[in-house]
Amino acid sequence: MTLKSATYCFLLSAFYFVSACSPKTVPVVKKPEIPKVEEKTKENNTKKEQPIKKIKEKPEMVISLILPFELKSINYRTAEVADLRKAEIAIDFYQGFKMALDSVANQNSNVDFKLQVFDSNDNPTALGALAMKPAIKNSDLIIGPVFPNGIKAFSVYSKNMEKPMVSPLAASDPELFHNPYLITVNNSLDQHAYKAARFIKSDLKPKKVLLIRSGQADEYKYAIPFKKGMDSLAKGISVSELGIKAIGYENVYKHLNPAGLNVIVLPSTDRVFLLTIFKELEKASRNFQIAVIGHPGWEKATFLDFQQMERINAYLTSSYQIDYQSNRGKSFVNYYRSKFSLEPSEYAFKGFDIGYYFATLMNKKQHQFMDGLLNNSFDGIHNDFHFKKDSKTGYYNSSLMMLKYENAQLIKVD
């Protein structure tokens, strides 16, 4: 077992002990005890008990986290890293979220935060019983569940209770859940496709766009909204859709214009297809002006050669980017290391940004914090938030960025 695996096993065992022996409630800020004050009077120089000056109590904001710790299904004594994958997400997110809550609470907070932590066990059926708990019903904000099936199951109860719930990690389209109280943090694939279409129109301004498919069915999830986006946002720019099986890799250059910029959109994440077509595009770039727009999933593709991506002038859309060289990025990493003896994953960053954003809103507006959701943008360490509202599907984050492969890294260009 690796050191990281052993560390997570220890954390899981701690969570299991807490969940088994005590309520899943973690008070973040305790109310101060008020001491009795005695004072000598001038008249008789004797002690006289003075009336206690009442300190106005702060409003209590109750936040419930529903995360897949999977305490009932993981044997933390024998678990390996592969077994702990979902639990790692939950633990990292929780630790980042808790750090954010503590940070806001320590800044002369106007509210007391009460954090409740629940294990979803990644089980949609069990979420119904969880939704019936008084602790959930009394929550001001619910964060989670994190996976689409759980979000769909719990949305029914969120809607009936009229309780705001945050989808913190899933990139699913909010239309799948029909919940006007849902707050979706991650951008959907449709949003990524529309962002790409908008960028092509406003910044690249080509005369022609080629959408080249490998033939896999999953590509349509990106290709269809992209074409719709081009039709509505980039009228006047023609889009040709080509199947690589029909034209052949070696003939891609025949479909390029010798004059002006050619934009090639690749909706695929298939390794073999991408590595093969990148070679052909690299050859074509010697004689043609090209720019390549990629699927957002490329950001996590470990097989990409950044220098090759730079040579073919490649871009992609992204919901997030961590600047590890910034003061905020360095401070977060250093504090996380010192507190947990672990490197923060992207889920720790996500937890911190989400926690800090909502805790700050609550600190400003207390129980009316949802009123500030639409006019309070946030520039986080990992995510930026700018929420818009749909009356049927709830609140969605409209903040998206365009990244370019440059100098062996991804640089934000829009």
User: DSSP alpha helices (H): ranges in 2-47?
Assistant: 3-21
Residue 412 lies in a domain: no
Task: Tell me the HSE value of 58 on the side-chain side, using a 13 A CA sphere.
Answer: 20
Spell out the residues 6+ positions from residue 320 whose beta carbon is closer than 8 angstroms to its own: 346, 349, 350, 382, 383, 384
Tell me what pLDDT residue 207 has: 83
Tally of structural domains, the chain? 2
Q: Report the alpha-carbon distance of residue 164 to residue 40 in Å, rounded.
A: 53
Looking at the structure, tell me whether residues 180 and 216 fall in a common domain.
no
Residue 23 lies in a domain: yes
Looking at the structure, tell me whether residues 44 and 157 fall in a common domain.
yes
Tell me what pLDDT residue 325 has: 82
CATH code: domain of residue 346: 3.40.50.2300
Is residue 319 within 8 A of residue 343, CB to CB? The reply is no
Q: Please tell me whether the peptide bond between 145 and the residue prior to it is cis, using omega within 30 degrees of 0.
A: yes
Residue 385 lies in a domain: yes
Q: Report the alpha-carbon distance of residue 37 to residue 293 in Å, rounded.
A: 70
In three-state secondary structure terms, 315 is: strand
Closest CA to 29 of 138, 134, 110, 93: 110
Q: Report the alpha-carbon distance of residue 378 to residue 380 in Å, rounded.
A: 6
Tell me what pLDDT residue 108 has: 82
Looking at the structure, tell me whether residues 242 and 357 fall in a common domain.
no
Looking at the structure, tell me whether residues 296 and 314 fall in a common domain.
yes
Query: Which among 318, 339, 374 is the end of a domain?
Result: 318
| Largest distance between two CA atoms of the chain | 105
pLDDT tens, per residue, the chain with 414 residues: 444 544 555 455 444 434 433 333 344 433 333 334 344 444 444 555 666 655 668 899 999 999 998 877 666 666 666 667 778 999 999 999 999 999 999 988 899 999 999 999 878 888 999 999 999 999 999 999 999 999 999 999 999 999 999 999 999 999 999 999 999 999 999 999 999 999 999 999 998 899 999 999 999 999 999 999 999 998 889 899 999 999 999 999 999 999 999 999 999 999 999 999 999 999 999 999 999 999 999 999 999 999 999 999 999 999 988 888 889 999 999 999 999 998 999 999 999 999 999 999 999 999 999 999 999 999 999 999 999 999 999 999 999 999 999 998 999 999
Q: Report the alpha-carbon distance of residue 69 to residue 347 in Å, rounded.
A: 14
Residue 128 lies in a domain: yes
Looking at the structure, tell me whether residues 121 and 205 fall in a common domain.
no
Q: Report the alpha-carbon distance of residue 300 to residue 202 in Å, rounded.
A: 26
Residue 411 lies in a domain: no
| Domain span including residue 48 | 3-30+37-187+328-397
Looking at the structure, tell me whether residues 127 and 24 fall in a common domain.
yes
Tell me what pLDDT residue 86 has: 78
Is residue 164 within 8 A of residue 370, CB to CB? The reply is yes
Looking at the structure, tell me whether residues 112 and 214 fall in a common domain.
no
Tell me what pLDDT residue 105 has: 94
- Give the C-alpha distances (Å, rounded to integers) separating 260 from 136, 204, 361, 403: 58, 11, 48, 22
Tell me what pLDDT residue 41 has: 43
* DSSP secondary structure, 86-99, as one string: HHHHHHHHHHHHHH
Which amino acid does the sequence have at 87?
Answer: A
Tell me what pLDDT residue 65 has: 98
Tell me what pLDDT residue 143 has: 98
**What's 382's DSSP letter?**
S
